[in-house]
Structure 1
Amino acid sequence: MRKTHRKIVIGALLCGCALFTLYGASRIAERAEKGALPVTLTDLDNEKPVIIIDAGHGEST
């Protein structure tokens, strides 16, 4: 009985933490400029590639 109670409480705590994380992520997405999202919230199939131009002196590694 005690083990079952502990599992239920731990499951409820983990669920609460997950919901709190999703709520926080949605708030970050709302406040982001120009639809910018943290990398973990993006879908790679729909994102435009970012091109970085190397400003080196011809010896790019």
Structure 2
Amino acid sequence: MSDEVHWRRSSYSDTSGKECVELAVLHGSVGVRDSKDPEGPKLVLSRRQVGELLRVARNA
């Protein structure tokens, strides 16, 4: 993934910003990474997959 990707974290994350997941809008997909390890592994999910993930998380 390019360094030019704009990563965003939830406004619900803790004040240090170190305990959350960050998302980035990519070309037709969404990048996901751990804010504690921004240089570490990243996932690339379809928008549909992100929608399903959010639906499941809301119902958990």
TM range (shorter): under 0.3
Rg larger in structure: 1
